[in-house]
Amino acid sequence: MPDIKIFRSQWDSDSGGMKGLCVETALGMADCYYHDRFIPLTEIVKNGDGDGTNTTELGAIKAANYLKLNPKPINTFWKDINQQDLKTWLGKGNLIVAFVMYNLIPAKYKQDTFAGLHAILLTAISDDLQSVRYADPDFWGAHREDGWMNNNKWITWAELAVAWKAAYKPFMGLQIDMIKEIPPTEPCLVYKDQITDLSQRLTNTQLEVEGLTKRLADVNTELDDALSKVTALTNTINTLNDELKHSGELLIQSEQENNDLEIRRHELSIKLVEQEVDSANRMTEAERQLSEKDAKLETQREKIAALTSNAEQLTTANIQLQKNTLQAVSDKTIFNEFIRRVFGRIKSILKKGGG
């Protein structure tokens, strides 16, 4: 059975940045196997559909004919295709470009999440017809070689059949008949001009690399200087951070003291208000008591005025009484004197009459 010599990825640089080159890449691997040459993918596209985004069945046949691969469409209905057919084709040394629905290929065999029609290259089937060896061009980067695993990438027939039979439109792939005649032109001669150009470009690249190496040394020196400055700056930043941390601690302490003072001020304000309220209450009570005392004093004043008026009346009455008394005494004296004289007269008369 065929044993491909090299693996090609549809994402390699010779794709020219085009996407959807799975068919062209599979044909390119077959061409490398049969003709021992390397045709860039851009050339295969140009001589096929000319469209690097979507390859048609006719475009695939055209590209295969350009590569002189003698393609034979596999137009067997999906229900009729079987492992024995595949063993027969591969046993003849014919590689198979199989069209599959990629979303039906189990994820463990893939790198991409693409879900549409895809082309893979079938290279062998196991003796028990239960496993198929193949190369998948939709791998790139660090996983590029996982696309063929050194020509040892296998999938079960059951898994392949599901994805292969689902892709019938209008045929299921291409059977590549091995071309016995090797083109008379050797690959090295075909690409002589390209090799010369590449050699010159390599020389120029080496000179550029030397210049870049020198520049890199200068950059490393500048980087060392910059690193020293960064180290010094880092130390300065660390010192500033320490000072900032200390300032932050002082600020926190100051804020705590301010909070304490604010609490104390609030407490004193409350106490002052309480004292003002108490003083107001006391003043109100004192005013009330003073008002009561004023009322009592006024009452006393009225009583004193009444007593004074009474005293004045009594004084006047007393004076009058004294006058009356003096008059009475005077009158009594006069009366007594009159009585005494009367009695004296009577006594005198009596004496005279008795004699």
pLDDT for res 216: 84
**pLDDT band of 185, cuts 50, 70, 90:** very low
Q: Which residues fall within 8 angstroms of residue 24, CB to CB, at 6 or more apart? A: 10, 41, 44, 45, 48, 55, 63
Does residue 21 contact residue 53 with C-beta atoms inside 8 Å? Answer: no
Mean pLDDT value across residues 171-179: 72
pTM: 0.52
Q: What is the CA angle 135-136-138, rounded to 5? A: 155
Structure tokens at 137: 């061009």
What are the C-alpha distances in Å from 66 to residues 61, 89, 177, 195?
A: 9, 22, 14, 23
Asked whether the beta carbons of 120 and 86 are under 8 A apart, the reply is no
Query: Quick check: 191 pLDDT over 60?
Result: no
What's the first-to-final CA gap in the chain, in angstroms?
A: 220
Q: Are 101 and 7 in contact (CB under 8 A)?
A: no
Tokens of 64: 């295969």
Query: How confident is the model over 54-83, as pLDDT tens digits?
Result: 888 888 999 999 999 988 888 755 556 789
More confident residue, 340 or 45: 45
> What pLDDT score was predicted for residue 119?
94
pLDDT of residue 189 exceeding 60: no
pLDDT in tens, 286-314: 888 888 888 888 888 888 888 888 878 87
Whether residue 193 is predicted with pLDDT greater than 60 in this model: the reply is no
pLDDT digits (tens, 9 = 90+) for 205-226: 777 787 788 888 888 888 888 8
With beta carbons less than 8 A apart as the criterion, state whether 96 and 176 touch. Answer: yes
**Residue reference for tokens 């980087």:** 223
Q: Is the pLDDT of residue 183 over 50?
A: no
Nearest residue to 173 via CA among 91, 106, 81:
81
Query: Residues 316-331: what's their mean pLDDT?
Result: 78
pLDDT of residue 186: 44
106, 159 contact by CB (below 8 A): yes
Q: Burial, 119: exposed, middle or buried (Cβ in 10 Å; 0-12, 13-18, 19+)? A: buried
Average pLDDT over residues 158-183: 73
Quick one: pLDDT band at residue 108, thresholds 50, 70, 90? very high
Residue 130: its pLDDT value, please? 96
Q: Answer yes or no: are the C-beta atoms of 127 and 137 closer than 8 Å.
A: no
Q: Which two tokens stand for residue 124?
A: 């062998």
Instruction: Report the DSSP beta bridge partners of residue 96.
Output: 122, 175
Residue ranges of domains in the chain: 13-185
Residue 5 and residue 33 in contact, taking contact as beta carbons nearer than 8 Å: yes
Which CATH superfamily includes the segment(s) 13-185?
Cysteine proteinases (3.90.70.10)
Residue 6 has a CB neighbour count (10 Å cut-off) of 12
What is the C-alpha to C-alpha distance for residues 326 and 315, in angstroms, rounded to an integer? 16
| Mean pLDDT for the stretch of residues 100-113 | 95
Provide the sign of the torsion angle of the four alpha carbons 98, 100, 106, 111, taken in this order: positive
